Amino acid sequence: MDYTEISVDTGAEAFIELLNINKVDCIFLNPGTDTIAIQEALAKFKATGRRTPQVILCPHETVAMAAAHGYFAATGRPQVVLVHVDVGTQNIGGALHNAQRGRIGVVVCAGKSPSSFAGERLGSRSGGMMWWQDQRDQAGIVRNFMKWDYELRFNENAHHVVQRAFQIASAEPCGPVYLTLPGEVLAEKIKSVRALDTAKYSAPVTPQADLDMLNKAAGILTAAKEPLIITGYSGRNTGAVAALVELAETIGARVASSGQYMSFPSTHSLRILGFGAGEHLSRADAVLIIDHDIPYMPAMTRLKPDIEVIQIDIDPVKENMPMWGFPVDIMLHADSAKAIPLLTQKIRERITPEQKGRSHSRLEELREQRKRLEIEWTDSALALSRRSPISADWLCYCIGELIDEDTLVVDEALTSGGSLSRYIKRTKPGTLFNSGGSSLGFGLGASLGVKLAAPDKMVVCLVADGSFLFGCPTPAFWVSHVYHLPFLCIVVNNQGYNAVRMLLRNTFGKDNFAEKEPLFSGLDITPSPDYAMIARACQAYGEVVEDPAEVKPALGRALEQVKAGRSALLDVRISGS
Ligand SMILES: Cc1ncc(C[n+]2csc(CCOP(=O)(O)OP(=O)(O)O)c2C)c(N)n1
Ligand SMILES: [Mg+2]
């Protein structure tokens, strides 16, 4: 027998015990008629001294999903999002896209309308909406985005169903899974639930990489004169960061990083700042792509005809992207945290003194270059210190001056992201998070999840104004207040959708019609709402900052508030496009 029995009174209690044995810390909940059995069971457990995950009521599902995302990004452990039938499922919306594309393990559970309606069973239909909320295929709403979906049909095998959900969500490449919980199953009176030995149903060990091919890759990278590394989500494993630094230094390769995680220190002289490899790609004779979905834009990139491309990825063929289309010479399915050190070792075994010298002198040259650049960046930020409206560079320079290297930065700064990457230096693994997807509204909820995962750390969220509004600010700041999750929110407010504006200008030229009618054409969010008031409405500290001389003092005041346990929001009005 590979299970033990735990006594419970209802299906809902069984569900909670199954979360307990999976060491779930948080249930991000938005309730409805379908979840009351679970809510009652949670309260009963609490009243009787039994363990339960912490319940975080999220008054919008976007916040619930983004918080679970942030928690997983910071810990690597899937939590539970529990929402109301079809409607709550629809509201997780774009935040689910981010979890899918970001490879974020989350167990999303939703009630399912009871199928009995004449009182045949406990939990059978008791309200009119239960007819409306019964869809032909509830899981079909989200199936595109989920690694797995299933319905808990009866309690006798609940242990296997829930275990399967956690096993799949946490198997690399990780991702969200969806489990529906019918009303009658949760309400059913039962005596016990079976608890499996979770160790026997865990995620598989990740692969280290095929040794022969890794040797070939080592040969190519050792011989390359212009090697380049492009990394994405390798920093999800904090241990991969130092290993990548070692590899890059050994071959003297520049490194571009997508910014989903801190995958390579932003201060390192080999680091290409921004999010792509830019012009370095056209000069490269060998490129190593690590855990990256879109390493470059094919339509805008000319690669050398004889370039050799090596890929190390936990998800190399990207089977949930209908088209991919990047040519690769050596494709290695591997856990980069394991493969990179081995690759470095293989390179060291074969590198000649001449090649070593070449890497060394390149590194020296880039160190000097970087020193000069740092001075230029500082000078240019200081030159903007009195420019009104405030520039994103000056804002990020000030933030960079005031936060330390342990601060956890949540980035949804969009078109101000370049300033962030130059001035807000990230040197420690696990100190930077962005969504890894493209649905706006990530930053606020994610900051809550990151703070829950690391309560002793300072969390600073840079969020563009449009993204802030997508993130359901009132629910997010309410959660922050009620559950004591203080963070500093900096709204990088350029009063509109700058990313859309820039694309439109690039596509239709400077004389486009849309920019002459920016509100009509849907580019402006003017007049800007007073975002500080939203924060204050939820007991957070809030200030609008318009004077460049006030940026640093305001940041200082806001950081003090957060240190004292209260969230703070600075609505920093920056220049438009
Ligand atoms: C949920 C969602 N809706 C719409 C978009 C399309 N979109 C991409 S960028 C952008 C503008 C973002 O504005 P803001 O967050 O203020 O950042 P900015 O471009 O101004 O720096 C929009 C609307 C999206 N990515 N996600
Ligand atoms: Mg904006």
Closest ligand by atom to 440 CA: 1
CB of 93 closer than 6 angstroms to any ligand 1 atom: no
pLDDT at 309 over 70: yes
Probe ligand 1: pick from 500, 501, 572, 577, max atoms within 8 Å of CB? 500
Q: What b/e readout covers 207-232, taking b as 16+ CB neighbours within 10 angstroms?
A: eebbeebbebbbebbbbbebbbbbbb
CB of 28 closer than 6 angstroms to any ligand 1 atom: no
Distance 6 CA to ligand 2 centre (A): 52
CB of 500 closer than 6 angstroms to any ligand 1 atom: yes
pLDDT of residue 211: 97
What is the pairing mode between strands 54-57 and 254-257?
Answer: unpaired
Question: pLDDT band at 1, cuts 50/70/90?
Answer: low
Provide the 8-state DSSP code for 10: B
pLDDT digits (tens, 9 = 90+) for 326-365: 999 999 999 999 999 999 999 999 999 999 999 999 999 9
pLDDT digits (tens, 9 = 90+) for 119-165: 999 999 999 999 999 999 999 999 999 999 999 999 999 999 999 99
Distance 121 CA to ligand 2 centre (A): 52
Nearest CA to ligand 1 atom 25: 439
N-to-C CA span, the chain: 65
Q: What is the mean pLDDT of the chain?
A: 97
As a whole number, mean pLDDT of residues 104-132 equals 95
Return the number of other C-beta atoms located less than 10 Å from residue 172's C-beta.
18
R_g of the chain, CA atoms, integer Å: 25
Provide the 8-state DSSP code for 172: S
In contact, 188 and 41? CB cutoff 8 Å? no
- Cα separation, 481 vs 567, whole angstroms: 7
Probe ligand 1: pick from 414, 494, 573, max atoms within 8 Å of CB? 414
pLDDT of residue 24: 98
Residue with tokens 């900051």: 447
Distance 568 CA to ligand 2 centre (A): 20
As a whole number, mean pLDDT of residues 286-305 equals 95
Question: pLDDT band at 389, cuts 50/70/90?
Answer: very high
pLDDT at 13 over 90: yes
Distance 118 CA to ligand 2 centre (A): 53
Residue 474's alpha-carbon distances to 463, 535, 563, in angstroms, are: 15, 7, 21
Structure tokens that stand for 402 in this block? 């005031």
In contact, 266 and 411? CB cutoff 8 Å? no
Q: What are phi and psi of 465, to 5 degrees?
A: -60, -45
Distance 418 CA to ligand 2 centre (A): 14
As a whole number, mean pLDDT of residues 49-74 equals 98
CB of 335 closer than 6 angstroms to any ligand 1 atom: no
CB of 518 closer than 6 angstroms to any ligand 1 atom: no
pLDDT of residue 565: 98
Percent helix, strand, coil in the chain, to 5, is: 45, 20, 35
Which of 442, 434, 378 lies closest to 409 in space, CA to CA? Answer: 434
pLDDT of residue 54: 98
CB of 470 closer than 6 angstroms to any ligand 1 atom: yes
In contact, 543 and 570? CB cutoff 8 Å? yes
- Cα separation, 274 vs 481, whole angstroms: 34
Which residues are near ligand 2, the ion (C-beta closer than 5 Å)?
464-466, 494, 498
Question: pLDDT band at 83, cuts 50/70/90?
Answer: very high
Structure tokens that stand for 304 in this block? 């050398």
- Cα separation, 340 vs 348, whole angstroms: 12
